[in-house]
Structure 1
Amino acid sequence: MSGVQNIKVKNDEDGLRIDRWFKERFPQLSFGQLQKLLRKGQVRVDGGRVKGDRRLCAGETVRVPPMNDPGGAPKKPQQRSRAEAREALAAMTLYEDSDVLVLNKPFGLAVQGGAKTTNHVDALLQDAGSEETRARLVHRLDKDTGGLLVTAKTRKAAQWLTEAFRKRQVEKEYWALVKGVPQPLEGRIDAALEKSGPKGAEKARHSEDGQRAISDYQVIDTAAMKASFVALRPITGRTHQLRAHMALIGTPIVGDGKYGGAEAKVEGLPQKMHLFCRRLVIPRPGRRPLVLEAPLHGHMKETWKLFDFDDNAQPGWPENL
């Protein structure tokens, strides 16, 4: 984008703060860059200068300055064509309707970008659609975790999906391969966690002063007592919760060097994270819940074949856990 754009505010953007409006339409523009554009008066609404907390009204026109001019945001590196981005998303799309686009995320693909990460799901979503049609993230998965990732195709859908995840109304089930065999074979881990470490390399650790974190688990199958197929149900949603909890009880997730170190290795298996978001049940306003289930892929599928684990297992969660 090299010239000035004048963009009308859509009906479903009515009441949205302009800083949030820019974040949704131009995610490559940092907060600091936007504030600079606002201070210089390069961003205007119906011809007038505005501040970042200005709420927009449907039908107003936002002046968007050239993003590759000095003082603006740099062009996004290695931008794909729309066809290339759509093809990449189609390869991982599991389900789609008028509200949601559900992906079966590959292992190793980041959900959002960083200083050194330009290839990520959010960039694919941006490249695949226009500002009017781009799907938006409503929750996260770690880069090295595979499985279900839900995105919203409309702002209204983003609102109820975000609320459902925030209020813990979404039922989640993960599958993992862990080192050893948890004892007992089924149970609940209730251990508070807090973040520690430098920015960008934070790690969750057990602390009585941390935030309460609860995970249910059950062993589905074992491989000669050296590893176990475990189903996990996070009740809370702390950062790295499942990884930290499984390491805490002495059975780290295979391939998770950050939390398991050398103990997270199993001879003969790739040293990749064996954690997968298998199932989600999401409530929908005025409709039946959306039930999603993703098939295993990548190295976890190969590991399941190696150990002859059932990749169609249906864990039953006791109500009294």
Structure 2
Amino acid sequence: MTYDFITVGGTTRDISFFTDQGIIINNRKDILRQKVLAFESGAKIKVDHFYYSYGGGAANAAVCLSNFSLKTACLAPIGDDEDGGHIVKNLRQHSVDVSLIQKIKNTESGSSFILVAPSGERIIFAQRGANIKFSINASTLTALEKTNNIYIASLSGDWLNTLRKIFAVVKKSGQKVFWNPGTTQLLGGVNKLSPFIKHTTVLAMNHDEAIELVVRSGQYKHLKASFLNKPENLLKLLHTLGPKIVVITLGQDGVVAWDGQKLYHQPIIKSKNRVDATGLGDVFNSTFAAGLTLYAGNIDQAINLALRNTAAKVSHIGAQTGLIKF
């Protein structure tokens, strides 16, 4: 079977906790922790309500892409537990092909505990579970060869070997790659990621992630906070590594992108009821990928579609609810 997209990464069963007890503290002296959500040490924190939902970068992206009537498969692991069954059922309900889902024996599915503040901003405590044991085998390589586009989300386990296998297919077959590196990949720095970045169509991340990637790289450790805090500098620096397009999301300040010729910027589309920012990065980045496909590479149109979808999602709880459908 030929796919429009195969998403690669993780799946989780999520529990979101909502509380008004935390405060946001600016911490600009720490370039990697410039804003923190804090609670009284030793206190018992009141939880207003909580919800069960679904997450994981590969699953979130697959649901989003499938909503645009793009034939999408999710290549990701689940555990051999009840949560794994629920994850697969949820993907099927969103018309995502689950034939590439890997069930890992004697392992629990990944889970996340998500703390959500009144502003909708959140902190995610992730337990990787089966995601740590994700691997690429011969049958999945065959599937990757038959897709037009590959969307890579956060990877766990032997992620470096996984990337080598994926990009070996890309170099052979020429698929477009949309990549949103996860925390573990960012810690590898430019030195480990640059062999793959140069074969990437769209490299996408938020501002904090872009800073993380750069400062973890020896050759850029001398860069000052004043340089790193300007997204345009990071766009152009990362573009020198070879991707066709670099996209950096800026939270409430919108998004910027650079294709080597033009600097793109669009503000966010405000939602009247901002409830939960969980999964916004996955929604934006996968919708941008869909937009480039649907709009023949038009970056402005792709950004606008992605911003509209994130505005729709943020008024709903969970990473996969409230999304635009075509």
TM-score between both structures, scaled by the size of structure 1: 0.26
Q: Which has the higher contact order (CA 8 A, sep 6+)?
A: 2
TM-score between both structures, scaled by the size of structure 2: 0.26
Largest Rg, 1 or 2: 1
More helix, by proportion: 2
